[in-house]
């Protein structure tokens, strides 16, 4: 009985030790974490952690949780359904905490001032921009393109602006355009849902799901371009500022309802 109680106490103690970073504020740990980040994380999150294919980590607000333990779990185990892999097979516990230390050291970068009007941007989103035809906010919109409910928490203003005027510069992983021509000559274009050497699954603009094997169709091509149009000529500079103000405000707190 005593042995069981002692074992349980040890497990509880070990679990609580992971709630806080034991290397918090350690300059050597931060520097080591920086080196690890640049090797393993920068290809998606950017050399300075300001985002790219992956979220901007300097904002200090994370979808999976803002606690040390949440960051540790994401780095160790990855995020199911995304390109974020787990690193527990490459980093020991202290290594993961070093990466957490570095992320904490760059978090809290002040966002650039926004001059646009959020309310006007929301009208543009659902109206002239027709963004809801592809994107989803909360329970409203389409599932073709990435869900933007939390985009203000995970993407920098610079990234959002680039996405509006040059959408092909950084395509969200898994959202390439696939064009299929059937043996009957029917052309089907849609957003990638899966693509490999033998088959492709796509979702078209009407949210219809299509699946084909390569030997069943005349051609199957994946384009490294986005189905999203550029708004550089569609929206005026003022309208772009308004749209940015709206997108940057989306943090999943009921402001899209």
Query: Cβ distance 95 to 104 under 8 Å?
Result: no
Mean pLDDT value of segment 192-201:
88
Reported as a pLDDT band with limits 50, 70 and 90, residue 217 is very high
* Whether pLDDT at 256 is above 50: no
| Cα(219)–Cα(176) distance, integer angstroms | 16
Query: Cβ distance 19 to 67 under 8 Å?
Result: yes
Q: Given this model, what pLDDT does residue 4 score? A: 41
Angle between helical axes of 27-40 and 93-106 (0-180°, round to 10): 90
Residues paired with residue 182 on neighbouring β-strands, in sequence order: 217
More confident residue, 12 or 189: 189
Q: Given this model, what pLDDT does residue 150 score? A: 85
Q: Which CATH superfamily is domain 14-106 in?
A: Cytochrome c-like domain (1.10.760.10)
Question: How buried is 189 (Cβ within 10 angstroms: 0-12 exposed, 13-18 middle, 19+ buried)?
Answer: middle
φ and ψ of 73, to 5 deg = -65, -40
Could you tell me where in the chain the CATH 1.10.760.10 domains are found? 14-106, 118-170+229-248
Angle between helical axes of 118-126 and 237-248 (0-180°, round to 10): 100
Q: Given this model, what pLDDT does residue 253 score? A: 60
* Whether pLDDT at 230 is above 70: yes
More confident residue, 202 or 62: 202
- Confidence (pTM): 0.66
Reported as a pLDDT band with limits 50, 70 and 90, residue 79 is confident
Per-residue pLDDT of 139-194, as tens digits, reads 999 988 889 998 888 788 888 998 999 988 877 777 888 999 999 999 998 888 88
Which of these, 170, 165, 169, 167, lies nearest to 241 by C-alpha position? 165
From the CB of residue 183, how many other CB atoms can be counted at a distance below 10 Å?
10
Q: Which two tokens stand for residue 11?
A: 């497990």
Reported as a pLDDT band with limits 50, 70 and 90, residue 255 is low
Residue 30 per-residue DSSP state: H
Per-residue pLDDT of 17-65, as tens digits, reads 468 899 988 999 999 999 999 999 988 888 888 887 788 888 887 877 7
Reported as a pLDDT band with limits 50, 70 and 90, residue 121 is very high
Mean pLDDT value of segment 121-143:
93
User: What order of strands is seen across the sheet that includes strand 199-203?
Assistant: 209-213, 199-203, 187-195, 177-182, 217-223
Q: Where are the alpha helices (DSSP H) in 41-183?
A: 42-45, 68-77, 93-106, 118-126, 151-154, 157-165
| Cα(124)–Cα(101) distance, integer angstroms | 40
From the CB of residue 228, how many other CB atoms can be counted at a distance below 10 Å?
21
| Cα(200)–Cα(194) distance, integer angstroms | 6
The listed CATH number (1.10.760.10, 2.40.30.10, 3.90.320.10, 1.20.1290.10) that belongs to domain 118-170+229-248: 1.10.760.10
Question: How buried is 247 (Cβ within 10 angstroms: 0-12 exposed, 13-18 middle, 19+ buried)?
Answer: buried
What is 177-223's CATH topology?
Answer: SH3 type barrels. (2.30.30)
Reported as a pLDDT band with limits 50, 70 and 90, residue 13 is very low
Q: Given this model, what pLDDT does residue 10 score? A: 39
Mean pLDDT value of segment 88-103:
94
Mean pLDDT value of segment 214-227:
87
């Amino acid at each position: 009985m005593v042995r069981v109680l002692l074992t349980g106490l040890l497990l509880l103690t070990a679990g609580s030790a992971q709630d806080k970073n034991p290397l918090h504020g350690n300059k050597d740990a931060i520097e080591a974490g920086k080196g690890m980040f640049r090797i393993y994380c920068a290809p998606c999150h950017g050399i300075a952690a300001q985002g790219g294919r992956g979220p901007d980590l300097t904002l200090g607000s994370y979808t999976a949780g803002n606690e040390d333990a949440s960051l540790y779990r994401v780095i160790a185990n990855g995020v199911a359904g995304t390109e974020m892999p787990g690193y527990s097979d490459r980093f020991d516990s202290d290594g993961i905490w070093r990466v957490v230390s570095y992320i904490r050291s760059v978090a809290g970068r002040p966002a650039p001032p926004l001059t646009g009007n959020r309310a006007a941007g929301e009208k543009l989103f659902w109206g002239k921009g027709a963004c809801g035809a592809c994107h989803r906010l909360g329970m409203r919109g389409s599932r073709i393109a990435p869900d933007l409910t939390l985009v203000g928490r995970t993407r920098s203003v610079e990234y959002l602006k680039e996405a509006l005027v040059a959408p092909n510069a950084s395509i969200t992983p898994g959202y390439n355009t696939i064009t299929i021509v059937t043996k009957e000559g029917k052309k089907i274009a849609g957003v990638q849902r899966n693509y490999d050497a033998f088959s492709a699954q796509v979702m078209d603009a009407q949210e219809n799901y299509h699946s084909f094997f390569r030997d069943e169709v005349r051609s199957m091509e994946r384009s490294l371009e986005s189905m999203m149009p550029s708004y550089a000529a569609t929206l005026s500079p003022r309208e772009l500022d308004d749209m940015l103000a709206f997108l940057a405000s989306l943090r999943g707190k009921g402001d899209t309802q």
